[in-house]
Amino acid sequence: MKLFLIPLSIVVLCSCATTSIPEATKTEMDSDIKRYLNYRNQKAYAVAVEKDGAWVSGYGYGYPNQELANKRALLECELQKHSRKISADCFVLYEDGRRKNGI
């Protein structure tokens, strides 16, 4: 099994009394997602996003099945989350290049 290092992405921005992600954070996350989309199939992209816009991500790619890619993305997200003191939960946002329904 191949192990891949995951690029770390974190942006810390402040917003005033809102629960939406600030535009600058969306732009940075869009850039991170574009990098993820270039990886091979059987891939996943997980994120944890704070209300203030701070976020981390994790990728999993090149795995023999989607379940393993998802697990790796969540693991990488959790590792980044703890190192950056993010308390939001990690969740899989993209599976095999497609955004999950309802997210």
Domain membership of residue 7 (yes or no) is: no
Q: What is the pTM of this model?
A: 0.72
CA distance 4 to 6: 6
Domain membership of residue 45 (yes or no) is: yes
CA distance 11 to 5: 19
Look at residue 23 in the predicted model and tell me its pLDDT: 56
How many domains in the chain? 1
Domain membership of residue 3 (yes or no) is: no
Domain limits at 31?
A: 23-99
Domain membership of residue 17 (yes or no) is: no
Look at residue 27 in the predicted model and tell me its pLDDT: 76
Domain membership of residue 6 (yes or no) is: no
Q: Could you report the per-residue pLDDT of 41-92, keeping only the tens digit for each?
A: 889 999 999 988 899 999 999 999 999 999 999 999 999 998 899 999 999 9
Q: What single letter denotes the amino acid at residue 83?
A: S
Domain membership of residue 55 (yes or no) is: yes
